[in-house]
Structure 1
Amino acid sequence: MARGPRERSSSSAFLTPSRARTGSCPSPARGPHFPPPKPTDEQSTLGSEEWNPWEGDEKNEQQHRFKTSLQILNKSTKGKRDFQVQIWGKAAIGLYLWEHIFEGLLDPTDVTAQWREGNSVVGRTYYSFITGPAVVPGYFSVDVKNVVLILNGREKAKVFYAIQWLLYVQNLVQTQKLQHVAVVLLGNEQCNNEWINQFLKRNGGFVELLFIIYDSPWINDLDVFQWPLGVATYRNFPVVEASWSMLHNERPYLCNFLGTIYENSSREALLNILKQDGIDKLCWVSVREQWQPQETNESLKNYQEALLQSDLTLCPVGVNTECYRIYEACSCGSVPVVEDVMTAGGCGNTSAHQQAPLQLLKSMGAPFIFVKNWEELPAVLEKEKTIILQEKIQRRKMLLHWYQHFKTELKMRFTNILESSFLMNNKGY
């Protein structure tokens, strides 16, 4: 069942509507149509209430009371929210932090804009976010004392660029234009990140806090913290809003896998197992032999449809166990089936870290299906065939609730860590 190509694949998919988003998973094109639920007796009663001639006055009075309360609140918190942090997004993972975890908006909405910015208040802190090609060292004004720098350190060329940014920030700290600095780093997939060591405060540098992606052995929850990979924002995977159909529709495929097959990899073994006994006929499978970094509108649409029309999303390891696909599946209510094995390199090992790999996800109770070998897949799919729709609906709700909680918890952890570290070290605050 070949579909449009997609390599690999994290989005605020909650069960209640919020505000306009950057995108959504399309409604399923296949499967039976379920009408929206009928209103409850309470909803029907509310809808049939008689017109209240005093409603306008009551609303005006209520708004006046709210405005007065807000003024009192603002007065009481004045000076408590003047702690400002600016986030400089110089890697695509910055969009996951801002749009998916902080649920922040960006102006302009055009992803190709040279300069994009947004702001948000969390706790005692006013956050601003800037990103885009025009955010270049020395070519924009620095009017804050606290900065979070988001960098890509996955490969040599990216590391060179990241170091230029760090040297620029180091100069700002030395000339007292900046007071506190944290870094969010898309680390190397084999956890070879020694290049940033010299910039950490513990080694005489200026970076007080490091939030790093992948199971780095450096993680100590004191000055180095694990951060999620999230969805592939560099491929324009959007923030997803859950819909009624996403939750309640029958999904025509048991599972999906759209990706690149590397020779002599577990992905090759997965494909062979899918071909056994016609299992691939039950799943949406589309593979290719060479990775393609560029996303087209058609390939992204096909990929999102595959997620939305499949009960399970197969997540084989790549260079690292953690992949975008895990978070993207969560966004669309498709349960990730994760290959739970350590990959080669210097990331956390099971003897030192009981929950490695994917320590962050496991520590937060990710409701995934973990397999140690793809030979377990046929049994997983046989069990899946016996699960009735109502049970799958409940499982989707649980997955989406968990994913929203995951992002909310990370937001609170992140902001609390910054406040406790930066604020406590602010003299005279």
Structure 2
Amino acid sequence: MRLTRKRLCSFLIALYCLFSLYAAYHVFFGRSRRTPAVSLRGQRKGAAPARERRGRGRTPARRVSVLGAEQSTLGSEEWNPWEGDEKNEQQHRFKTSLQINKSAKGKPDLHVQIWSKAAIGLYLWEHIFEGLLDPTDVNAQWREGNSVVGRTYYSFITGPAVAPGYFSIDVNNVVLILNGREKTKVFYATQWLLYVQNLVQTQKLQHVAVVLLGNEHCNNEWINQFLKRNGGFVELLFIIYDSPWINGIDVFQWPLGVATYRNFPVVEASWSMLYNERPYLCNFLGTIYENSSRQALMNILKKYENDKLCWVSPREQWQPQETNESLKNYQDALLQSDLTLCPVGVNTECYRIYEACSYGSVPVVEDVMTAGSCGNTSVFHNAPLKLLKSMDAPFIFIKDWKELPAILEKEKTIILQEKIQRRKIFHGHFSSGENMVFGMAFFCLD
């Protein structure tokens, strides 16, 4: 019993660690590699080539730092939706990597399957776990991957063909990744939860965690009934955006990450990315909404003629899909700018923050609350973006775009060597996950 407890107690260290892999890139979020990366100029043709290059024969490197722990009694078996071994084995993982390990000695103690029905699942598996998927074709109906971390075996499935009742269930522990951003997505997500609920009730599944792309206004009441504390079966909920539900016990915040649905690739740091001078102080490529702070930003850039120093390409209408040309243009802007301007949209948190980090461009983030139910400044003094702030993300936070001219003037005085060190922070310290443990927890099951 003691051995089972130890084993299952360590298993719950894994949803925590998973996240730990966020970067600054993620958040933080760049990436350390064992082999030098090829030049991004040769890479930026779209997502597929980048993913393929990560492919065969590579061992992704990732260190995990555990910054905090919570203990909870959940059942007769220990379960942690993301980790796999005891503390003495964590030190071993610091020096090794998340990897597909078919030659691992001994049988894994735990098996966790990740069912991804939202694009954020690719961010989790490819950017955080640094896992591979077969086939590499992003349009495939069924894609899968696996990874052994310590003595925990993770398998990942995604694609349109992954549908309730149309695949076999051979695990006890599942992480379900869902999209709950709008009504149609909520309906689909609810069908999945009802399906999983039946599996739990018929004892085909034992432990369930959910990673949820929440509503941008944080209106997520629909999932409340499925939480274990309310009589449901979801033991852990990892939710995107500053939800007032986040308590560090059974509800944790999850990073938005990059726009994988628009084929934003896994970016590998190259010599030129880290060491070259960049021709632009800042960049902003995005939609300008009427009477928004983005309009104010454009006016300030023009007033101070900083639009000549920055790569600025506004558009009047949002475009949900990227072309190869528009994606390359956007990546070029990130790569060639020292700063990336990140005005708020529907929510303060946006993909641009994480995408800038992947190219070593410092996000200048508009730190203001948006409309809706997100955050609670009376309870959380660091809202919004409390997740990033709690991790001391090295971003520039501003309350008003009137502060921008002074920021750009200061940026002009920073020498290249300082900028190089700053980029290394993004692509080394933060990308390795040393300080990136966003609200995960330890769970010891009786």
Give the shorter-chain TM-score range: 0.7 to 0.9
Deviations 1:69-128 (A, max 9, x none): xxxx966xx45x321110000000000000111111111111111111111122332110
CA distance in 2, matches of 1:293, 1:249: 32
Aligned length: 362
Retained in 1: the 8 A contact 2:39–2:271? no
1:152 aligns with 2:167: no
Kindly state the Cα deviation for residue 249 of structure 1 after the two structures are TM-superposed: 0.6
Residue 410 of structure 2 aligns to a residue in which SS? Answer: helix
Retained in 2: the 8 A contact 1:341–1:372? yes
Partner amino acid, structure 2, of 1:392: K
Match of 1:235 among 251, 262, 265: 262
Match of 2:403 among 376, 383, 402: 376
Deviations 1:367-397 (A, max 9, x none): 0011110000000001111111111111111
Aligned equivalent of 2:41: 26
Aligned equivalent of 2:72: none
1:219 aligns with 2:246: yes
Kindly state the Cα deviation for residue 359 of structure 1 after the two structures are TM-superposed: 1.0
Match of 1:175 among 199, 202, 205: 202
Match of 2:31 among 14, 22, 27: 14
Aligned equivalent of 1:208: 235
Q: 1:164 to 1:19 in 2, by over 3 A?
A: farther
Kindly state the Cα deviation for residue 405 of structure 1 after the two structures are TM-superposed: 3.6
Q: 1:19 to 1:283 in 2, by over 3 A?
A: closer
Q: 1:350 to 1:150 in 2, by over 3 A?
A: same
Aligned equivalent of 1:331: 358
Residue 149 of structure 1 aligns to a residue in which SS? Answer: strand
CA distance in 1, matches of 2:160, 2:375: 34
- Taking the TM superposition and a 5 Å limit, the aligned residue runs for 1:300-339 are 300-339=327-366
Kindly state the Cα deviation for residue 165 of structure 1 after the two structures are TM-superposed: 0.4
Partner amino acid, structure 2, of 1:238: P
CA distance in 2, matches of 1:206, 1:332: 40
Retained in 1: the 8 A contact 2:367–2:384? yes
- Taking the TM superposition and a 5 Å limit, the aligned residue runs for 1:325-364 are 325-364=352-391
Residue segments in structure 2 that go unaligned for 5+ positions in a row: 1-24, 45-102
**More helix by percentage:** 1
Residue 123 of structure 2 aligns to a residue in which SS? Answer: helix
Partner amino acid, structure 1, of 2:406: A
1:132 aligns with 2:147: no
In terms of mean alpha carbon deviation, does 269-278 or 256-265 score higher?
269-278
CA distance in 2, matches of 1:399, 1:85: 30
1:253 aligns with 2:268: no
Deviations 1:48-69 (A, max 9, x none): xxxxxxxxxxxxxxxxxxxxxx
Aligned equivalent of 1:289: 316
Kindly state the Cα deviation for residue 28 of structure 1 after the two structures are TM-superposed: 11
The two structures have a TM-score, normalised by structure 1, of 0.80
Deviations 1:181-230 (A, max 9, x none): 00000000111000000000000000000000001110011100000000
Aligned equivalent of 1:199: 226
In terms of mean alpha carbon deviation, does 401-410 or 108-117 score higher?
401-410
Q: 1:404 to 1:375 in 2, by over 3 A?
A: same
Retained in 1: the 8 A contact 2:31–2:432? no
CA distance in 1, matches of 2:129, 2:432: 12
Match of 2:428 among 401, 404, 410: 401
Residue 151 of structure 1 aligns to a residue in which SS? Answer: strand
Kindly state the Cα deviation for residue 24 of structure 1 after the two structures are TM-superposed: 7.8
CA distance in 2, matches of 1:165, 1:222: 24
Deviations 1:140-175 (A, max 9, x none): 111111100000000011000000000110111111
Retained in 1: the 8 A contact 2:253–2:387? yes
Q: 1:333 to 1:346 in 2, by over 3 A?
A: same
Match of 2:211 among 184, 189, 195: 184
Retained in 2: the 8 A contact 1:199–1:205? yes
Partner amino acid, structure 1, of 2:395: F
Aligned equivalent of 2:297: 270
Q: 1:320 to 1:116 in 2, by over 3 A?
A: same
Retained in 2: the 8 A contact 1:25–1:305? no
Structure with the larger RCO, 1 or 2 (CA within 8 Å, 6+ apart) = 2
Partner amino acid, structure 2, of 1:190: H
Residue 245 of structure 2 aligns to a residue in which SS? Answer: coil
Percent identity between the two aligned chains: 79
Kindly state the Cα deviation for residue 269 of structure 1 after the two structures are TM-superposed: 0.6
Residue 250 of structure 1 aligns to a residue in which SS? Answer: coil
1:91 aligns with 2:118: yes
Q: 1:24 to 1:322 in 2, by over 3 A?
A: farther
Partner amino acid, structure 2, of 1:26: R
CA distance in 1, matches of 2:36, 2:43: 22
CA distance in 1, matches of 2:252, 2:148: 22
Q: 1:313 to 1:97 in 2, by over 3 A?
A: same
Match of 2:415 among 366, 385, 388: 388
Partner amino acid, structure 1, of 2:162: V
CA distance in 1, matches of 2:36, 2:304: 46
Retained in 2: the 8 A contact 1:24–1:239? no
The two structures have a TM-score, normalised by structure 2, of 0.77
Residue 431 of structure 2 aligns to a residue in which SS? Answer: helix
Residue 113 of structure 2 aligns to a residue in which SS? Answer: strand
**Aligned alpha-carbon RMSD (Å):** 2.2
In terms of mean alpha carbon deviation, does 323-332 or 270-279 score higher?
270-279
CA distance in 2, matches of 1:237, 1:154: 20
Q: 1:212 to 1:360 in 2, by over 3 A?
A: same
Kindly state the Cα deviation for residue 400 of structure 1 after the two structures are TM-superposed: 2.0
